[in-house]
Structure formats: C-alpha cells, structure tokens
C-alpha cells in the first residue's frame, strides 16, 4: 500500500491550520482469531481495519485525531481536528510538555517470517486447535478445554512534516491451550505455554513451536492432579520461578516502573507512578549483580520488535538495569529530552486509532550461567512455581503479590510433590536483590504479553519479556491463603 499522497495532504492541511510539526501514521491491521472451546469452534473471525492517526504540534502542546475516512474531506477534517485540539491544550498550558522532533528517518522493516500463516489452510489451523483441545479432556473433571490462535499483521506508513518516510510490515503470532478442572467446590486451571500462550514476532513457525498437541494431555492431567494436591505451604522460603513467571515479574515490577511517562507523573491518575524516581538513576541498587535487564526492540522473535517506533524513531537496545543498578528508562522523545537523553524508541499505539505512548516493548532479563536443573541446588525447603494465575502490584510498583497455577515443593535440593495455589509476595527491590541465580541461555526465551493495559483512552499493548527461570531467597510464600 502507499498512502503518500494522502499523507502529504494531511501534513499540508495541518501546516495550513497552524501546526508547527505534524506526523501521520497510516495502518492496515489484519487480525485472525480462532478459539475452540469444549469441542466447538467458539470464535473464527477475520478483522481488517484501515485508518490513520495524525499528531499535530502547536506551541508546546500535542493534538491527536484519528479516522478511517481516507477521502480528501475526511483527511482535511481529521488534520484540522488534530490542530484544533493542540491549540485548545496550548491555550491553557502552564507547562510545555512537548517539542517538535528534529530527527528524520527514512527506511523500511519487515518481520522475518519462516512460514506465512495465511498459506496454511484454515482447515489445518482449525484442526490443530480441535485436536489439541480434545486431548485436554483426560477425565470428566475437565469441565472446560480451550485452544486458541491469533495471527496479526500490520502494514504501516509513517510520514512527518520534517521528511520522515517509514514503511513497516509487522507479523505477530500466538497460540495456547487451557484446561479447567472442577470437582468438589474446587477449580484448578492449567495453561500452556506459560499463562497466556506463546506469542512472538513471526509467522506460523511460532504456532508450530508452541507444540500444543504434544503438551495437551499433560496439561489436562496436571489440572486434574491439582484438585487433589495439597495446599502450598506458607512461610518464608526460597522460590524458583519458571521462565514465563519471571517474564511476568519483569513486566510488572521492572517494565512498568521503568516507563518514564509514569515516572514523570503522566500516568498518575490511572496506571500510577513509579518508585524508580529520577534521582535514583545510576544509584539505586534495584537488584542483585546477577540482574541485568535491557530493552531491545531489535531482538529476533521479540513480540514488540520493529524497525521504528510509532513516533518514527529507530529501534535500539539500551540498559534499564545493569548488574543490579538502575541505568535507564523506557522513553519517548519528549520524556527523554527532559532527562537530557535521546529516545530509545519505546513508543507504540494499539492501532491507527490510538495516540502513541511509551510502552514496555521487549524488556529482557539477560540469561545467567546456571543450568536450569541446578537452580534447586542448595535449597533446603522451597517452592518451584510455574505459569501465572494471579498478579497484583501497587500503583508505584513496589508491593506485589503473584500466584501461579502449579508448584512443586523443593526439599533438600530436589523437586518433590505437587502443590496447589502457590502464591508469593514482596517488595520489588528487596525481591530482585534476593535473586542469586538466573538460568542459562538454554532455557531463555521471549514471552509475549498480548494484553498489557495502559493509558487513557485505555490501550492494549503487545509487549515481550525474554526470561529464563530464576531463584530467589527468603520470599514470603502462601500469601493470600495464610493471612
């Protein structure tokens, strides 16, 4: 597709209305969703959406307007609306939050893909899910089986009034299965892979890699076994978290607090603020020296990987936590400038309809040196937990409580009996400082999060956290069930 003439019209109209800078992002989004529930194809949909969003800058204030109307009149109205909104904000501004960008980028990017999902017959895709879902039903106690698949494709073009010209094709794929076992007033849930499925940047190879059929029977059996498993013990003990749970821990307790718009109070009324205040930069001992977390939007398979972000800045890799010390933030141009830094291109919009804002993107805990099997060494009594079931953290991202679907007691360095309802909680820096082992690269992978909420109007972001299993010492276990 090419929207260059329409884009030029939008930029010209914005300029004529008084905008000191403008950019426009055209997108064609295609979303295919299949979901099987208890042997029935409960969803099979193909959604296509085409539209554009215009950002206009006037006297320190931004205005944004979006529309699917690509007629000349529609573009003129939308551009004028963006400028009018910017002027209305500028008229009462006590503080100038924005500056017009000065960096110009031209380029293209396409997600590397081994197998185009749309070349896989729909019947084959449906059969994969029906077959996997059927295998979940190992006993009548499995009351709900689910299998799902999402295939997303986004073609976008970005144009700015200072000459940026960017075209991208982003492909993202994901799938998963879930078994809900119910008996005697208890309900136990198991999902695979991880807690939401496997979501990565790429094509149908991501769906095949999830190995839904190969794992379905085991997942069903585990859900049933949890019904009669003992309650997870409570107390202060060591925990080992599986990779997807470490991913969630990064997302909630590092990713969100490192968003610089939160730090600066721009999200204060909804998502909240952050304990990672600017005076802590280069000083705060966020975690142990084993903890290095980087944002890397160039990473192959990353769910948020792209060539350029949604305000037209080029993807880079940069440190957030380096050997335990706070070294950086997830930034946009406007927030980075206030810190005297350059943006690290962490701006995304859910769709053409949404205003671009700072999102987590690919935030990765670098792998350690310990083989996974050796994480249990030296633990006298602890719990190994896998796959998130519950997650809650305060609005400054300090006090957290997470629960997992399944756990195993660790006794004298060995994984022993299965336990149900494992939970743990703590304070973010204390928890990450208790990390004394991160598994090696053999068990490190990208875990996509397809449903991260932030902003107002609320936007659903697609983020990614690469993680390996890790060990934490002296953690409060059993919270929520034992006071």
Restricting to residues 127-146, which ones interact with another protein according to CB under 8 A? 130, 143-144, 146
Q: Does 97 bind another protein (CB under 8 A)?
A: yes
Q: Does 59 bind another protein (CB under 8 A)?
A: no
Question: Among 4, 69, 103, 114, which residue sits at the site for another protein (rule: CB under 8 A)?
Answer: 69
64 versus 329: smaller Cβ distance to another protein = 64
User: Interface with another protein by CB under 8 A: which range of 82-90, 209-217, 308-316, 464-472?
Assistant: 82-90
297 versus 459: smaller Cβ distance to another protein = 459
120 versus 411: smaller Cβ distance to another protein = 120
Burial of 463 (0-12, 13-18, 19+ CB in 10 A): buried
Q: Does 284 bind another protein (CB under 8 A)?
A: no
Contact map string, positions 201 to 240, toward another protein, x by CB under 8 A: ----------------------------------------
Contact map string, positions 349 to 378, toward another protein, x by CB under 8 A: ----xxx-x---------------------
Q: Which of residues 287-326 bind another protein (CB under 8 A)?
A: none
292 versus 343: smaller Cβ distance to another protein = 343
| Number of chain residues interacting with another protein (CB under 8 A) | 87
Q: Does 395 bind another protein (CB under 8 A)?
A: yes
Instruction: Give the shortest CB-371-to-another protein separation in angstroms.
Output: 33
Q: Which of residues 414-453 bind another protein (CB under 8 A)?
A: 421, 423, 425, 453
109 versus 391: smaller Cβ distance to another protein = 391
Q: Does 158 bind another protein (CB under 8 A)?
A: no
Question: Among 1, 4, 16, 48, which residue sits at the site for another protein (rule: CB under 8 A)?
Answer: 48
Q: Look-up: residue for tokens 């979006």? A: 66
């Amino acid at each position: 597709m090419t929207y260059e003439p329409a884009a030029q019209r939008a930029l010209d109209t914005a300029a004529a209305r008084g905008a000191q800078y403008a950019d426009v992002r055209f997108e064609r989004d295609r979303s295919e969703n299949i979901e099987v529930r208890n042997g029935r194809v409960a969803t099979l949909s193909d959604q296509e959406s085409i539209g554009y969003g215009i950002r206009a800058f006037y006297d320190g204030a931004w205005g944004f307007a979006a529309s699917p109307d690509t007629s000349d009149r529609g573009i003129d109205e939308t551009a004028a609306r963006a400028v009018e909104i910017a002027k209305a904000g500028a008229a009462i501004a006590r503080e100038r939050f924005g500056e017009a960008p000065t960096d110009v980028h031209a380029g293209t990017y396409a997600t590397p893909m081994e197998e185009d999902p749309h070349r896989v017959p729909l019947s084959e895709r449906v059969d994969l899910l029906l077959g996997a879902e059927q295998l979940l039903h190992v006993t009548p106690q499995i009351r709900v089986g689910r299998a799902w698949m999402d295939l997303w494709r986004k073609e976008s073009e970005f144009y700015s009034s200072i000459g940026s010209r960017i075209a991208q094709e982003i492909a993202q794929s994901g799938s998963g299965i879930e078994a809900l076992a119910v008996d005697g007033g208890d309900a136990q849930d198991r999902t695979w892979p991880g807690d939401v499925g496997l979501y990565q940047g790429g094509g149908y190879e991501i769906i095949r890699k999830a190995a839904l059929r190969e794992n379905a029977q085991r997942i069903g059996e585990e859900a049933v076994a949890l019904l009669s498993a003992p309650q997870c013990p409570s107390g202060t003990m060591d925990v080992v978290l599986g990779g997807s749970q470490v991913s969630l821990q990064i997302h909630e307790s590092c990713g969100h607090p490192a968003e610089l718009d939160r730090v600066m109070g721009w999200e204060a009324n909804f998502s909240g603020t952050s304990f990672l205040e600017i005076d802590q930069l280069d000083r705060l001992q966020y975690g142990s020296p084993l903890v290095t977390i980087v944002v890397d939007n160039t990473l192959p398979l990353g769910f948020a990987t792209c060539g350029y972000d949604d305000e037209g800045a080029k993807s880079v890799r940069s440190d957030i936590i380096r050997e335990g010390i706070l070294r950086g933030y997830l930034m946009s141009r406007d927030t980075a400038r206030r810190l005297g830094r350059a943006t690290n291109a962490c701006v995304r919009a859910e769709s053409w309809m949404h205003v671009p804002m700072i999102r987590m993107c690919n935030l990765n805990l670098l792998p350690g040196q310990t083989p996974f099997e050796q994480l249990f060494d030296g633990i006298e009594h602890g719990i190994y937990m896998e796959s998130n079931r519950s997650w809650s953290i305060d609005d400054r991202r300090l006090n957290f409580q997470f629960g997992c679907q399944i756990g195993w007691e660790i006794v004298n360095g060995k994984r022993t009996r299965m336990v149900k309802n494992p939970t743990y909680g703590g304070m973010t820096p204390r928890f990450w400082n208790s990390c004394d082992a991160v598994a090696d690269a053999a068990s490190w992978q990208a875990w996509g999060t397809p449903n991260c909420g932030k902003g107002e109007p609320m936007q659903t972001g697609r983020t990614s956290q690469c993680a390996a299993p890790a060990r934490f010492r002296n953690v409060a276990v059993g919270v929520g069930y034992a006071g």
